[in-house]
Amino acid sequence: MSIVGLKIRASLVTVVYNKILKPSVSSLSELNYGAIVNYMSTDTDRIVNSCASFHAFWSIPAQIAVTLYLLYLQVGPAFLAGLAFSIILIPINKCIASKIGQLSEKLMACKDDRVKCMTEAISGIRVLKYHVWEEHFINKIKKLRNEELKHLKGRKYLDALCVYFWATTPVLISILTFTTYALMGNKLTAAKVFTTIALLNMLIAPLNAFPWVLNGLTEAWVSIKRVQRLLLIPDVDLANFYASFNDFESQRTDVTVIGANFEWGNSAEDESAPLIQSKFSLQNINIELFPGQLVAVIGRVGSGKSSILASLLAETGKTSGSVFMSDLEDGFGYVAQQPWLQRGSIRDNILFGKAFVRSRYNEVLEACCLVDDLQQLNGGDLATVGESGSTLSGGQRARIALARAVYQDKLIYLLDDILSAVDLVVARHIFSKCIAGILKDKTRLLCTHNRNFLQNVDWIIVVENGCIKAQGHPTDILKSFGELIDEPEQASETVKLGAEETKLEESPLFGNDEVPEEVQKEEQETGDIQFSVISDYWHSLGHITAIAILISLVLMQSSRNLSDWWLSYWVTHASHNSTAVLVYLEDSGSFDWFESKAISVEEVTFYLTVYGFLAGLNTVFTLCRAFLFAFGGIKAASTLHNKLLKVVLRSKVSFFDVTPAGRIINRFSSDTYTIDDSLPFILNILLANFFGLIGSLIVTTYGLPWLAFVLVPLLPLYRWLQYYYRLTSRELKRIGSVALSPVYNHFNETLHGLTTIKAFRASKRFSQANEVYLENSQKAQFAGLVASQWLGLRLQFFGVTIVGSVGLIAVIQHHYGYGVDPGLVGLAITYALTMTSLLNGVINTFTETEKEMIAVERTQQYIRRIEPEAEVPVLNYPNYPWPSQGVVRFRSVVFKHRTNVPQSLKGVTFETYPAEKIGIVGRTGAGKSSLFASIFRINELEYGEISVDGINIAELGLKTLRSRLSIIPQEPFLFSGSLRENIDPLGEYTTPEIWSAIRKCHLEDVAFRTGSIDFNIGESGQMLSVGQKQLVCLARAVLHNAKVLCIDEATANVDNETDQYIQTIIRESFYHSTVLTIAHRINTVLDCDRVLVMGDGVVLEFDTPDTLLQNPDSHLHRLMHDN
């Protein structure tokens, strides 16, 4: 079944992965991100683990039936008393199993929500840091975790009750059987008693295992239904979505849309998904794209421009109309508004699976204006792209995504606002060399707000409220709808256009084998599990709880051994009277020995009372052990998760730059599940087996002391065997854990890039890559399973040796007339029969516990080694309102984002006046965003000083510093929740204040469409366009109203009208604040008090716009008049 389990794992992972590539993004939105991740991890584990339970489900009842029949042969109808007790327990356990199943469903739903929230926090970690939301998200995730633990507690306590019932069943059956046997007037002999005890012991394993079997199957069934929910989501039927041109009167176009209505999926069907009152839809869409035509799509923020592109990609639902496409097999050259990049080299991202052709590659790099960037990057085009392109600027990500699309050489290109991510000079270069150059013979659909290029397109489509309001020639459209687009502007920075004359082969463009690794390799421990890991788990349990568990185990095993010894003592005492029979006297209602030599009623009653008392103590200690383990496991799981959560969210941003999100999520999903469930389960069994083995050895050697001569030479062999097995199996587990991370990383990347992958028709290649990663993971797991079978075969030899030795020693002692106590011999043989399973159990469970402890080890790696942000300031808080003026001063600032990367700021010095408006311009990679990173102390300065209102920010606590500043980031971050929660996550403002900010930022339509500001706007704000998300970020800043506001490309993804709104809001709402604005649009900064021009990490010039523009030698003057 282990091999079957591996095959099922491979099948499930492959099926789940392949499935997410088939539905539209609209349909897939019915499930939240956390649920989909759990399908791949936790649910798959549960289904695979049930394989071992499959045969046990029918074989255990068969074992029980055979054992009961053998009991009948020994004690006759007396066994029915024990059987009746077992039957009574069946409905009780069935009820418990049913409740466990219900709790498991709720548990998994809570786990989905927690993983989703954690994933969002990791994705938006920079925004969390800027806004000091770490504690808010820690508390939010802890709240979700507590809800998860509430269901876990219920399930674990029911598990404990189930274990108690079944663990005490053999003891209670023994009492009932022997009492009934005596009541029937039968003779109680040593042979009869210990044969019966041996048979009852044979019931322990199946009876103890059966509740876990039922529990495992129940959990597997819950997970199967969850995975089925994903599999039942309808796939996109391209043949049905697109109509063939054979059905159309003419194939004059590459794309034709006739009277089509599209809508996004309704996530309200999912209880855990966002509730949206109405779905955004496109109505009566009519489009014709002719071969070689360049068509622009314009419209206000949230009007439906991106939805049109998504609809052409079949990512929305088509409710009516027709979509004709000339070439479905080839796919599209698609560039999203928020570019998606894979972790890997820049070259790999551009090639995207195609063969490397240097001439074509060079042509694409030049067309996409990437030559200078690659020459500056350490490693050239082999420089590593971080998670979602985190190591690159926004403009670089956009151009690499464009280069990827261009290199694929598709027939149709869908470009979503790619020009807004770059400055005007770069935009002009891209438009002339790429869109209107290398792609001039392609059919192109371009979403843009930029008027500079609209005169050069062939056709313009105007979108408003999900409808095409107008379309026509640029001259006509620009006259009627000029307010929807930006005013023409001059170039905002220079770019070395002469670079196109450089011989690329001779430039530092192409990397070599010595490129430094940007992504930190996952750490893998070796050797034994360190004592510190065990110590950490002990401390997570708590000293008192851990000691109480050990005491309960000792008392449970001691009481069981003592009760068995007492029974042997009783039988031995009775055997001195060869014809003695224990009978029940109906007249007196008491027990008596009635034969040639009678034993007093008081003595018999004494034996029964002591036996019953010891057996009763055993049940009590078993109950304590079961519930203490459940309590301790939950406590440890809660403690470790909370420590991990705090360490990760309080770590430096550089940690997230070099660590894939999938690797972090693996700690919070797979490893956390192990600590929650698998580790306590296997640890419980290990300790029970260990104390059971110690008890068996003590009883066996006490009954047959000569057995020690056999055990002493076996112990070194046993120790060597377990050491050799542990050594290999532990490393195999570590290798397997590390090999599993690429599976999760690839899955995580795929989820974020589904639209791009499907648009490029790259699903098959990504599926094949998933199979490669999965195969590497399967190899390690298969090796572990084979090693387990190797161990089992050798342990059988040990067990047979011990049992055979017990019997042989007993015969020899009897034959040579040594004193043999029949009761003790019977007890020794009975315990020896269980020795094989105990030996096997101790090694297996010890090894499995070590494997599961690796989850604690991996958690501790993060807890102990992740470097936190500075927490202990010299000056925690000024004694007066700060900042009051907003004077920002840089003095010789040297800054880099991580220790192993080049400096981003190289001696920057400047100072602002109170409430001054500063515009910041410069080429991509000039260090503009690094100014903000240094102000917010995303990393500490290497040299220099930054002060705000005369206070060195290095002397302030991070919370104090960041909470007194505001930022509108380049990439808007929204999380699952309501509009209110996204604007005011800390709940610091009143409803009227929030509505005021919403009106100022023109978000009333969003509030009305969702019903109110308290309705859920979807996972990561999926119901909003990128421009609307940016407005939400602006609303946050308006509410905060800080004295220093940093704006990083806030208007890049909005239309001209919305841009004007934003500029007006900033002027009015932040009149008394210092505003630092990074912009690609030159008109955005021309009305600033002064302009700061950055270049290669240094200040090129800093003065008023008029002064700089009047100087023909100034950089700003050249920026304005270039081209």
Residue 950 CB coordination number (10 Å) = 11
Nearest to 737 by CA among 628, 590, 854: 854
DSSP state of 592: E
Among the ranges given (451-460, 484-493, 1020-1029), the one the predictor scored with the smallest mean pLDDT: 484-493
Percent of the chain with pLDDT over 90: 18
pLDDT of residue 569: 77
* Sequence-separated (6 or more) residues with CB below 8 Å from residue 104: 151, 155, 218, 219, 222
Q: Which residue has the higher pLDDT, 333 or 164?
A: 333
pLDDT at residue 512 in the model: 43
Whether the per-residue pLDDT at 928 is higher than 70: the answer is yes
Find all residues with CB under 8 Å of 208, minimum gap 6, and list them.
163, 166, 167
Predicted confidence band at 496 (pLDDT cuts at 50, 70, 90)?
very low
pLDDT given for residue 517 in this prediction: 45
Confidence category of residue 598, pLDDT binned at 50, 70, 90: very low
pLDDT at res. 648: 92
Average pLDDT value for residue range 168-178: 77
Distance between alpha carbon 396 and the CA centroid of its chain, in Å?
Answer: 28
66-101 pLDDT per residue, tens: 888 888 888 888 888 877 877 787 778 778 878 887
Backbone angles phi, psi at 967, to 5 degrees: -145, 145
Listed residue (663, 862, 670) closest to 748, CA to CA: 663
3-state secondary structure of 520: coil
> What confidence tier does 387 reach under pLDDT thresholds 50, 70, 90?
low
Predicted confidence band of residue 445 (pLDDT cuts 50, 70, 90) = very high
Question: Is residue 458 predicted with pLDDT exceeding 60?
Answer: yes
Assigned CATH topology for domain 914-925+965-1121: Rossmann fold (3.40.50)
Compute the distance between CA of residue 1037 and CA of residue 131 in angstroms, rounded to an integer.
10
Could you please report the per-residue DSSP string of 823-848? HHHHHHHHHHHTHHHHHHHHHHHHHH
Confidence of residue 521 (pLDDT cuts 50, 70, 90): low
Give 489 or 414, the one with higher predicted confidence.
Answer: 414
Longest dimension (CA), the chain: 130
Burial of 544 (0-12, 13-18, 19+ CB in 10 A): exposed
* Cα(1065)–Cα(1080) distance, integer angstroms: 19
**CATH of span 238-266+277-506:** 3.40.50.300
Residues 719-752: tens digit of each pLDDT: 888 788 877 877 787 787 778 878 888 888 898 8
More confident: 171 or 371: 371
Write down the CATH superfamily of domain 2-233+527-865: ABC transporter type 1, transmembrane domain (1.20.1560.10)
Q: How does the average pLDDT of the chain come out, rounded?
A: 81
pLDDT of res. 494: 34
Phi-psi region of 337 (alpha: psi -120 to 50; beta: other; left: phi over 0): alpha
Q: What is the distance in angstroms between the CA of the first residue and the CA of the last residue of the chain?
A: 71
Are residues 413 and 313 in contact, defined by beta-carbon separation less than 8 angstroms? no
Q: Give the confidence band of 516 by pLDDT, cuts at 50, 70, 90.
A: very low
Residues 6+ apart with CB under 8 A from 627: 157, 160, 164
Compute the 3-state secondary structure of the chain and give helix, strand, coil in percent, each to the nearest 5.
60, 10, 25
| 263-305 pLDDT, tens digit each | 886 433 333 333 333 467 888 999 988 899 999 998 887 788 8
Is there a common fold for 2-233+527-865 and 238-266+277-506?
no
Check residue 1121 and give its pLDDT: 67
Asked if 886 and 1043 touch (Cβ cutoff 8 Å), the reply is: yes
Point out the least confidently predicted range of 618-632, 752-766, 787-801, 948-962.
Answer: 787-801
Whether cis (ω within 30° of 0) applies to the bond prior to 883 is: yes
Segment 644-687, tens digit of pLDDT:
999 999 988 888 888 888 788 888 888 888 899 889 988 988 89
CA 666 to chain CA centroid, nearest Å: 5
Q: Which residue ranges make up each domain of the chain?
A: 2-233+527-865, 238-266+277-506, 914-925+965-1121
* Res. 46 pLDDT band, cuts 50 70 90: confident
Question: Which alpha helices (H) appear in 430-542, and where do they start and end?
Answer: 451-454, 474-480, 531-541
Q: Which amino acid is at 384?
A: T
Q: Which of 909, 981, 976, 966 is nearest to 936 (CA)?
A: 966
Of the candidates 199, 222, 206, which has an alpha carbon nearest to the alpha carbon of residue 53?
206
Alpha-carbon distance of 462 to 438, in angstroms, equals: 26
- The per-residue pLDDT for 268 is 32
Look-up of token digits 């950055």: 1094
pLDDT tens column, 155-169: 899 888 877 877 777
